[in-house]
Amino acid sequence: MREGNLEAPTRHPLGWKSEAFYDEAKTFEELERVFDICHGCRRCVNLCTAFPTLFDLVDASSTLEVDGVAKLDYWKVVDQCYLCDTCYMTKCPYVPPHTWNVDFPHLMLRAKAIKFKKGAVGFRDKLLSSTDAMGKLATIPVVVQVVNAVNRNGLARNLLDQTLGVHKDRELPEYARSKFRSSFTESKSVAAKDGNNTPGKVAIFSTCYVNYNEPGMGHDLLAVLAHNEIPYVLLENEACCGMPKLELGDLESVSSLKQKNIPGMAKLARDGYAILTPIPSCTLMFKQELPLMFPEDAEVKAVQDAMFDPFEYFVLRARDGLLKKDFKHKLGKVAYHIPCHSRVQNVGQKTREMLQMIPDTAVTTIERCAGHDGTWGVKKEYFDNSMKIGRPVFRQMAAVEPDYVSSDCPIAGRHIMQGMGAEKKQAEKAHPLTLLRKAYGI
């Protein structure tokens, strides 16, 4: 394909089960090839710190080319990539079907998988990526109060910084005393109304974050579904979606989690349910990453076809004429951040579309990576870079003097509020699901 063609970008299957995938010599050959293309282009220099790290290495080398960079220094670039996919989706002109076949994020993932398989990943990173296990432990009665108190205590945070490498200044989410799954309210018995674009009944994958940290988001979703007379169920059994393990390069754990989640989800998909998750990274895991890891798996494909971002689902329901618009409260000025893992789903700005349906609501959309990622911005060595990457987002969000600061990714929302500092003034952080429930007055 010639450069500049109008073909849609193509993601190739990951091929992670082959021996060649873990061949370090071949991987370094591919790293050098892709790095050389990136060095000759440099369009991605302002996206994150992976590309400036690469270009600084090249500019400091004896040859001023990639061949002058020490191979061991390639790992410095790999470690700066947190797999947001923004370069692939928004900047790179050489993604497949271009003949140069550049997929920078998946090449970084391949390198991370090799690093993990070599045993070069530490205890902290394994712990932080075990979100389900950490949530189960941290939300035990009494333990939850202790964990939350430690996360707020300066001396304890200094100790965490020094021993575990969790940055002392990173604002961490609290753990909830009552988990979403244990406080789940059953759906009323109403008839499902299928539309041309949407199934009329919903199955909810609650996610680790909603279950253990912010169950209110899950209850907001239930309230909106109930208000719109959409019957719903909760997955009977649920484990972590696998995204934190994927970002770590622990692909065997991703496979293990897939075995726990997919069979039950596939059954619901075959029974005609739309499947919703309140967290974009989890939605993306089932929409893209697992299908690319298991391209021949029919159950994974069934789940992919049934998976919706909540606001994608609501906007499509509106197009079907099946979504209520009896909004009772205006929201004023909303500074809305669309996360990378929402953008990668390729469904457009559905959250913005939904919020703009609410009368007397002005939505300013910021479409740029905020720089936190799941666990990357928590780590001591990446905290400053995460704040640097997010600085344009913080500035643009504050500039509109919003009533609400909102992001589909609640971690990004917290990160943005921290980065805005005093500039946030009277703004309130609220997830878009919370805002939609407020607007309905339910």
- pLDDT digit string (tens) for 246-259? 999 999 999 999 99
* Beta-bridge mates of residue 338: none
Please give the chain's pLDDT, 442 residues, in tens. 455 567 778 899 999 999 999 999 999 999 999 999 999 999 999 889 999 999 999 999 999 999 999 999 999 999 999 999 989 988 898 999 888 999 999 999 999 999 999 999 999 999 989 999 888 888 888 789 998 998 889 999 999 999 999 999 999 999 999 999 999 999 999 999 999 999 999 999 999 999 999 999 999 999 999 999 999 999 999 999 999 999 999 999 999 999 999 999 999 999 999 999 999 999 999 999 999 999 999 999 999 999 999 999 999 999 999 999 999 999 999 999 999 999 999 899 999 999 999 999 999 999 999 999 888 999 999 999 999 999 999 999 999 999 999 999 999 999 999 999 988 888 999 999 999 999 999 9
Could you tell me if 221 and 300 lie in one domain? Answer: yes
> Same structural domain for residues 405 and 356?
yes
CATH number of the domain encompassing residue 396: 3.40.50.1860
- Does residue 279 sit within a domain? yes
Whole domain around residue 97: which residue ranges? 20-117
6 inside domain: no
Q: Classify residue 280: in a domain, yes or no.
A: yes
* 310 and 216 share one domain: yes
**pLDDT value at residue 4:** 57
* Half-sphere exposure for 346 (CA within 13 Å, toward CB): 10
pLDDT of residue 270: 97
| Closest listed residue to residue 254, CA positions, set 135, 133, 128, 113 | 113
Give the per-residue pLDDT at 138.
Answer: 86
Q: Work out the widest C-alpha separation in the chain, in whole angstroms.
A: 71
Write down the mean pLDDT value for the chain.
94
pLDDT tens readout for residues 72-99: 999 999 999 999 998 998 889 899 988 8
- Of 117, 144, 176, the residue at which a domain comes to its end is 117
Q: Is residue 106 part of a domain?
A: yes
Q: Is residue 241 in a domain?
A: yes
What is the model's pLDDT at position 317?
A: 97
Residue entry with tokens 């009323």: 188
Cβ neighbours around 149 below 10 Å, total:
11
State whether 341 and 422 are in the same domain. yes
- Is residue 20 packed enough to be buried (19+ CB in 10 Å), middle (13-18) or exposed (0-12)? exposed
pLDDT for res 54: 97
The answer to whether residue 11 is domain-embedded is no
- 218 and 276: one domain? yes
- Token readout for 194 is 């299928």
109 and 145 housed in the same domain: no
- 109 in the same domain as 50: yes
Total number of domains constituting the chain: 4
Q: How far apart are CA 223 and CA 219, in angstroms?
A: 6
Q: Residue 5's pLDDT is what?
A: 61
pLDDT of residue 1: 47
Do 206 and 277 lie in one domain? The reply is: yes
Please indicate, yes or no, whether residues 247 and 305 belong to a single structural domain of this protein.
Answer: yes
pLDDT of residue 140: 83
- Please tell me whether residues 390 and 307 are part of one structural domain: no
pLDDT of residue 325: 96
Task: Examine residue 25 and state whether it is found in any structural domain, yes or no.
Answer: yes
Cβ neighbour number for residue 6 with a 10 Å cutoff: 5
- Domain-located, residue 174: no
Q: What is the pLDDT of residue 2?
A: 57
Q: Are residues 395 and 432 in the same domain?
A: yes
One domain for residues 134 and 206: no
